[in-house]
Each structure stands twice: as C-alpha cells, then as structure tokens.
Amino acid sequence: MRLRSVELEIADVGAAADFLERVWGLVAAGTSGATRFFRGTGDHPYILSLAKASAPAVASITFSGSPEEVDTVRRRNGSPRLIRFNVPGSGEGFEVRGPEAQNYRFISETEKTTPLGDRDKPIQLTHAVVNATDVEASERFAVEKLGFQVSDRTGHMRFLRCNRKHHAVAYAHSSLASLNHIAFEMQSLDAVMRGMARLREAGFEPVWGPGRHGPGNNVFGYFIAPYGGIVEYTAEVSEVGDDYRVGTPEDWKWPPGRIDHWGLSKKDTAKTAAAEAVLRFKNLP
Ligand SMILES: [Fe+2]
C-alpha cells in the first residue's frame, strides 16, 4: 500500500495552482470539471488535487495498492460500496471515515504513469500528518481498520506505516482535528536544499528547517503554502521492517533547546499552528 494523494478544497484555486507549479515544483495533471490535478515526477497519476470551495478543507487522504491489498482493507471495514473515482488514473475503491472525520480513500492501482526526469521536483507524497484530539483513537483506527503498523510513539505524535517507509501517516496531538502537513519526497538531501533555495528565491522563508527528524530520520524543510496549509520537502526517510522496535516517548527526547538531529533548526510555532488550523476535515461535525 502507498500514500497516493491528498484532495483539498480551497477558495483561490488559481493562486494555489500557480504556487504549486511554478514554485513548489508539481506538474499539472489535468482537470475534471473545476478540479485541478497535480502530479510529481514519480509514477502516481496525481498526488494533489484542488477543488474550489468557499471554505478551505481536506476532502480526503488517498492510499493506493494492488486490487488484493485494497480488498483486504475493504473487508476490514465491512466491505463498503465500491466507487469509481473520476480522477487521473481512474481506479475503483472505497472511502472510510476515521474517528475525527478523517476521510481515507483507498484505490486499486490499475495503471502507473511514466516517471519524469527532473531531479529537483517532488517525486510523490511520502506522509500526511493529521492533528487529532485523541491520537490513541486515531492510532487504533489506523491499525485495526486500515491495517497499518505503528513505527514510533513520541510524547506528541504517533507514526504509522503501510509499507517499509517509516511512516505514511502520523497523528499529532492537538485541540483541533485538521491537517498538520503533507510531505513531498525529494530525491536527495541536495534536492531538499535546492528546493528550499527555490522557495527562498520566490519569497518564501521556511517555518522549520532545514533539519533532520528523530523518528524516520528524514531531512526536512517546512513552508506555509499561500492557501494556508503546511507543505514539507523531505528525503532520506528510513525504511523499517517487522523487526523494527516500536519507539517510545522515552526514546525520543531531545536535549534542551534542540528539536532535530542537527540542532540548527528553529520552529515558528505560532505561524505553523495558525497554518495547521486552516485545513480542517470536510466532514468534521
Ligand atoms: Fe513531516
């Protein structure tokens, strides 16, 4: 199973598309009605979609896998009805609702797109971090209903995987259910740094990074997109298997004043908290 895409609703699709294509490095991948699709350089037909709406929201977080993998998750959830999604790559799948209105979509991978050659553009999404008021409940749902495995638990977050990559989804404790951020996988540490330079040249300063995370050991640079959500360039995320010992909060304590392995980064917590609050789940009661 792989994280494939995130479907967003925002007010100014044109401005967001301009940022995503011209600055962030995604590639236009077609339209369906008023919805615009964007791909990375990897083999997913698209990795992000933007639909116009009066209030910004996360419509869904989408995973894809073989028909057998998708069917296994579907049966865990009582076999919800199959949907043929009108998106690039097509594919049949289903949706399930998490404990805090997170809408997870699973789609059978019926076709892969030819990868592109640009070494400095995002390849694909590699994780989505979700703010949850009850991370225990979200973790339990991801294990029992989505079939994911826990990789690490920190005092603040739960990291879960659906393949060998350390995490595809993580839950961060918050007073507000929303999208914390989405991370775009880059080819290398150099590609992350060149991407950060591209953002700086376009007038965007990082709100956190560059740095190297604890859980997952990936390098990172975080920015606030003009539409309000947080986007991350990342690379070198660790791969783990069944022999990986699930880390505990005790394993992931930083020395005073440090919030990543390098000790260089400072996080603009006020700005990031405000940006995290923008993208709430569409069906949140
Ligand atoms: Fe991240």
| Single-letter residue type at 213 | H
Structure tokens at 44: 């997913």
Using the predicted structure, report yes or no on whether residue 110 has a pLDDT greater than 90.
no
Per-residue pLDDT band for 117 (boundaries 50, 70, 90) equals: very high
CA of 28 to the centre of ligand 1 (A): 23
CA of 224 from ligand 1 middle (Å) equals 13
CA of 88 to the centre of ligand 1 (A): 26
Token digits for 241?
Answer: 């298997």
pLDDT score at 235:
98
**Count of beta carbons in the 10 Å neighbourhood of residue 252:** 17
Distance separating alpha carbons of residues 189 and 195, to the nearest angstrom: 10
Nearest to 178 by CA among 132, 144, 215, 221: 132
Q: Band of the pLDDT at 11, cuts 50, 70, 90? A: very high
CA-to-CA distance for 15 and 164, rounded, in angstroms? 36
Integer Cα distance of 54 and 284 in angstroms: 16
Ligand 1 centroid to residue 127 C-alpha, Å:
7
* pLDDT computed for residue 281 by the predictor: 93
User: Measured in angstroms, how far is the CA atom of residue 285 from the centroid of ligand 1?
Assistant: 26
Q: Whole-angstrom Cα distance, residue 195 to residue 24? A: 8
Which of 25, 49, 97, 11 is closest to 285 using CA atoms? 97
Q: In whole angstroms, give the CA distance from residue 255 to residue 249.
A: 13
State the Cα–Cα distance between residues 222 and 180, nearest whole angstrom: 11
Q: Is the pLDDT of residue 29 over 90?
A: yes
User: What spacing in Å lies between the alpha carbon of 79 and ligand 1's midpoint?
Assistant: 31
Average model confidence (pLDDT) for the chain?
96
Give residue 111's pLDDT: 83
Check whether 35 has a pLDDT greater than 90: yes
Spatial CA neighbour of 191 closest among 40, 1, 32: 40
Give the Å distance between the CA of 94 and the centre of ligand 1: 26
pLDDT digit string, tens, across residues 219-252: 999 999 999 999 999 999 999 999 999 999 999 9
The pairing of beta strand 27-32 with beta strand 83-84: unpaired
Give how far Cα 48 sits from Cα of 20, 31, 133, 147, 253, Å: 10, 12, 25, 23, 33
Q: What is the pLDDT of residues 45-101, one digit of tens each?
A: 999 999 999 999 999 999 999 999 999 999 999 999 999 999 999 789 999 999 999
Q: Tell me the CA–centroid distance for residue 113 and ligand 1, in Å.
A: 25
Decide if pLDDT at 125 tops 80. Answer: yes
pLDDT at residue 80 in the model: 97
Task: Report how far ligand 1's centroid is from the alpha carbon of 84 (Å).
Answer: 30
CB atoms within 10 A of CB 42: 18
pLDDT band for position 283 (cuts 50, 70, 90): confident
182 CA distance to ligand 1 middle (Å): 7
- C-alpha to C-alpha distance for 7 and 61, rounded to whole angstroms: 6
Distance 82 CA to ligand 1 centre (A): 31
Give the pLDDT of residue 145: 98
Ligand 1 centre distance from Cα of residue 239 (Å): 15
Give residue 115 CA to ligand 1 midpoint distance, Å: 23
